[in-house]
Amino acid sequence: MAHNSPEYTKLGVQVVAVVAQTSEPVRRYIEETGLPFNILVDETRDVLKAYDVWHAVGVFAWNIARPAAFVIDRTGAIRYSFIADRQEEFPSHEEILTALQHVST
């Protein structure tokens, strides 16, 4: 998503990533990569649970966040959502861009 940031900026949208980690590794990652968008740390997993992306996997029922993308308009309404069934699934850039274009017009 970072390499597509100029397109998102042109549309006037804000990209925010939510991660289920502690803040220190996230801070270091941001410093090392220079990400062009905000990352919110969800140590309690409350946001991930609210968006239904935190789920049990495997025999031992470990919990993990599924890859997901949401487009939320200015009123807070979810206008597009993608929640993966598998860790290697992600929506295409074109799919997200189309959803963003519909919201920004």
Q: Where are the domains of the chain?
A: 2-104
Nearest to 103 by CA among 55, 70, 59: 70
Q: Name the DSSP class of 86.
A: S
CATH for the stretch 2-104: 3.40.30.10
Two structure tokens written together for 82:
């993608």
pLDDT digits (tens, 9 = 90+) for 46-88: 999 999 998 877 666 577 888 899 999 989 999 999 999 888 8
pLDDT at 50: 92
Other residues' Cβ atoms within 10 Å of the Cβ of residue 1: 14
42 and 19 in contact (C-beta within 8 Å)?
A: yes
